[in-house]
């Protein structure tokens, strides 16, 4: 097992600002020339995307024989007969080497160029690194990246992922995920940047720029196109279960769920967008003309590609029951604004759409618009000039430089939630028992989208990295650290299945140690297979914690989980609690450094950690959702909600003092820029990093305001005794809210601004209502 050394990251080129993609006359002339020569069948083919297993030898459409090889007959069908313009995914749900990727894609591209002269657009899920390439660099999942509150690290991570995905001959990723994770039950919570719209927007813009660079019309050979997903409202299903309907007010839809997508397009220059698989307010998103065409293509002047999610045309028919046949589903989706259909198996799509056009059910103008968007993306990626390339052009693939960035991200993601009696850091030479089902597993450190969809193949690829147990042995000495899990997962079963517990063995092993590091949480899962019926931790894990408490040894709870599982019954007796989320291949090393004090934790919760299953709430709730105290009179309408830990919470081994809060405008109007400054001092004995956050509260509004909203943040690093002045900018327009008519409104009145424990009040002197849907 290797010990990672941090090195200088000078090879990266970072950006501060992006720009919205606006095509050039040169690109459009090239597209005109191509489209003038295309038949209807060739145009429709550019709107189709199929999975690579469909063109693999052996098996069937759902899997291929190993070693994977392209089936020339199926390639003739998909590319030759149907002129398909896009392929996705990995064969047999298993990561491939860069050598294999180069061979596969070269064959596909050569066949496409021979048939149509148009290169194929290959897409993959590079969600926390190059997910489906062996030997690639894995970062913390998005929820952990959000916990860093560090947009520079986010951009660096996406830039590394782009480089290594390009090294795999793939120019397009279905990332970042920008669904607001506002329901702890949702199985894709860990794929989000958390519950807050502003944090999501800032991290998403940084990710898009990291993937694409700052010139959307010329992405470059070391970058790839981003695909922002899943537009929108996907993360708040009423049931908490994946791909089930959501009910969202028009106000929240526009004000919160839309904002990260707007920012990623307008400020980040995102080149593609994936639609939400579910239903919002009774309308299937894949058939929603208003959300797809009006809000995105018209209101934002988006000239990129809108792609479906997996098999969601079929879902309009078989799941949502919107039409009697497949033909009707295709018609609905294309006319709503879908440009590229991730079918991924049904070869009837192309002839069906051709038939619809010939019958006048889908206008030719809609086809031409979609094809133009797809070709535009291919030109922006340089695929016409260079449709495939050699992996040897990417010598930094899987490099120590890339690993150092992933380790830094894991370091800053770790969130210290409790440290009673300064139990941490653990002193060198201490005897430690490492226990729990997550203590010796690379699978649980990575989660889903790791070498395979569900993450079940991680152990086949990640043996060179350190589990928590192995990392603690490296840090504290093998003789001082022992392992007895007490509870283990059934690795060949569903993610929630566990083997018969052996709690007594763990209790016995604790007899001669100084500390117990109890690693609990979840096994890996992804999407619908990760649905749950109970948010609490498993009974076995709860009983293990209680039994270890009875030994009298200080127990440090390490939470390795994709969503916040309830710990109410075991948290009080824990001496320390650390949330590591899904930190990736360097998560064990990062945790060991935090436990030893070599690294000072600086992560902050990107969501509200619930205490009760019936007490799920977000920090930006309405005043009426959390009434403090009781109403007078005959009826008690109190609505207090107790949480385990609040949004933005996180401890450090040092302390920070805030002082001298200044605001340059005590009175303001729409269009103003308000500058806020505050002095922050490290008043402790060790160096530390601090996420400085600016919150606002609208004190009185015509619609009940959120109690507080995050408006700006900056991550700083201070040595002991060091002080710095942090300056944050707030656009006055960002204090507006969406009114009952769907219009942005900034009202006259007072606003409270808070940074740390310091508060100032400012006043808007004039009401403004925007005539357009966007400010």
Residue labelled with tokens 């309907």: 245
Contacts of 390 (CB under 8 A, 6+ apart): 102
Q: Are strands 415-419 and 481-483 parallel, antiparallel or unpaired?
A: unpaired
Adjacent-strand bridge partners of 663: 676
Cα 688 to the center of its chain, rounded Å: 26
CA dist 319 to 49, 312, 326, 548, 713, Å? 21, 9, 12, 47, 42
Torsion of Cα atoms, 211 then 217 then 221 then 227, to 10°: 30
Greatest extent of the chain over all pairs of C-alpha atoms, in Å: 81
Rg of the Cα atoms in the chain:
26
Q: Which two tokens stand for residue 68?
A: 């994977």
Q: 101-110: b or e for each residue (b if 16 or more CB lie within 10 Å)? A: bbbbbbbbbe
Q: How many helices (H) and strands (E) does the chain have?
A: 21, 29
Q: How many CB atoms lie within 10 A of CB 335?
A: 17
Helix 326-336 vs helix 349-358: crossing angle, to nearest 10: 70
- 252 φ, ψ (degrees, to nearest 5): -65, -35
- The sign of the dihedral angle between the CA atoms of 192, 651, 420, 757 is negative
162, 127 Cβ separation under 8 angstroms: no
Q: How far apart are CA 232 and CA 226, in angstroms?
A: 16
Residues catalogued as catalytic: 309
Of 495, 446, 437, give the one whose Cα is nearest residue 469: 437
């Amino acid at each position: 097992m290797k010990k990672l050394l941090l090195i200088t990251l000078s090879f990266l080129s970072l950006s501060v600002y992006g720009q919205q993609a606006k095509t050039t006359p040169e690109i459009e002339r090239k597209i005109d020339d191509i489209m003038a020569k295309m038949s209807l069948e060739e145009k429709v083919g550019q709107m189709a995307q199929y999975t690579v297993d469909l063109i693999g030898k052996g098996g069937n459409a759902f899997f291929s024989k190993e070693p994977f090889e392209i089936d020339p007959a199926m390639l003739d069908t998909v590319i030759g007969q149907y002129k398909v313009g896009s392929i996705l995914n990995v064969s047999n749900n298993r990561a491939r080497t860069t050598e294999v990727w180069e061979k596969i894609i070269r064959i596909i591209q050569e066949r496409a160029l021979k048939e149509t002269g148009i290169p194929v657009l290959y897409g993959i899920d590079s969600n926390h690194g190059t997910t489906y390439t062996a030997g690639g660099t894995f970062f913390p999942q998005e929820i952990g990246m959000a916990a860093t509150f560090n947009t520079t690290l986010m951009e660096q991570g996406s830039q590394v992922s782009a480089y290594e995905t390009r090294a795999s001959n793939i120019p397009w990723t279905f990332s970042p995920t920008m669904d607001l994770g506002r329901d702890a039950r949702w199985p894709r919570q860990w794929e989000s940047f958390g519950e807050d719209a502003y944090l999501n927007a800032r991290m998403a813009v940084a990710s898009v720029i990291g993937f694409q660079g700052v010139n959307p019309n010329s992405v470059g050979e070391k970058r790839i196109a981003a695909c922002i997903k899943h537009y929108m409202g996907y993360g708040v299903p009423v049931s908490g279960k994946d791909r089930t309907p959501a009910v969202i007010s028009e106000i929240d839809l526009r004000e919160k769920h839309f904002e990260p997508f707007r920012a990623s397009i307008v400020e980040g220059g995102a080149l593609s967008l994936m639609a939400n698989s579910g239903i919002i307010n009774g309308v299937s998103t894949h058939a929603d003309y208003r959300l797809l065409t009006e809000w995105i293509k018209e209101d934002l002047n988006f000239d990129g590609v809108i792609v479906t999610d997996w098999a969601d045309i079929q879902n309009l028919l078989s799941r949502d029951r919107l039409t009697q046949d497949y033909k009707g589903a295709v018609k609905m989706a294309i006319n709503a604004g879908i440009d590229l259909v991730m079918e991924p198996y049904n070869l009837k799509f192309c002839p069906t759409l051709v038939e619809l056009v010939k019958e006048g059910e889908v206008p030719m103008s809609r086809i031409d618009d979609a094809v133009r968007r797809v070709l535009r993306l291919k030109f922006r990626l340089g695929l016409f000039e260079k449709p495939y390339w050699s992996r040897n052009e990417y010598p930094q693939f899987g490099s120590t430089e890339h690993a150092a960035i992933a380790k830094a991200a894991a370091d800053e993601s770790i969130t210290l939630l409790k440290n009673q009696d300064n139990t941490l850091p653990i002193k060198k030479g201490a005897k430690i028992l490492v226990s729990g089902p997550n203590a010796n597993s690379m699978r649980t450190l990575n989660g889903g989208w790791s070498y395979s969809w569900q993450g079940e193949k991680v152990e086949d690829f990640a043996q060179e990295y350190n589990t928590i147990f192995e990392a603690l042995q490296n840090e504290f000495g093998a003789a001082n650290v022992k392992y007895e899990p007490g509870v283990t997962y059934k690795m060949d079963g569903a993610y929630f299945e566990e083997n018969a517990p052996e709690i007594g063995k763990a209790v016995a092993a604790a007899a001669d140690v100084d500390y117990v590091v109890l690693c609990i949480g979840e096994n890996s899962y992804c999407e619908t297979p990760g649905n749950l019926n109970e948010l609490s931790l498993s009974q076995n894990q709860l009983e293990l914690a209680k039994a270890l408490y009875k030994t009298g040894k200080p127990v440090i709870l390490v939470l390795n989980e994709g969503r916040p599982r309830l710990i109410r019954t075991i948290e009080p007796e824990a001496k320390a609690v650390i949330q590591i989320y899904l930190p990736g291949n360097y998560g064990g090393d990062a945790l060991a450094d935090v436990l030893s004090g070599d690294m000072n934790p600086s992560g902050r919760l990107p969501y509200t950690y619930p205490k009760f299953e019936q007490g799920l709430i977000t920090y930006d709730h309405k005043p009426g959702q959390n009434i403090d105290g009781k109403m007078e009179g005959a009826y008690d309408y109190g609505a207090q909600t107790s949480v385990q830990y609040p949004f933005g919470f996180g401890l450090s081994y040092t302390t920070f003092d805030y002082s001298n809060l200044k605001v340059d405008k005590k009175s303001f109007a729409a269009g103003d820029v308000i500058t806020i400054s505050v002095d922050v001092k490290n008043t402790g004995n060790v160096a530390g990093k601090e996420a400085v956050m600016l919150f606002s509260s609208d004190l009185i509004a015509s619609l009940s305001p959120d109690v507080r909203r995050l408006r700006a943040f900056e991550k700083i690093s201070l040595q002991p005794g060091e002080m710095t002045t942090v300056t944050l900018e707030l656009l006055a327009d960002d204090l507006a809210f969406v009114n009952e008519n769907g219009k942005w409104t900034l009202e006259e009145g007072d606003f409270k601004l808070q940074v740390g424990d310091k508060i100032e009040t400012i006043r808007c002197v004039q009401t403004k209502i925007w005539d357009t849907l966007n400010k």
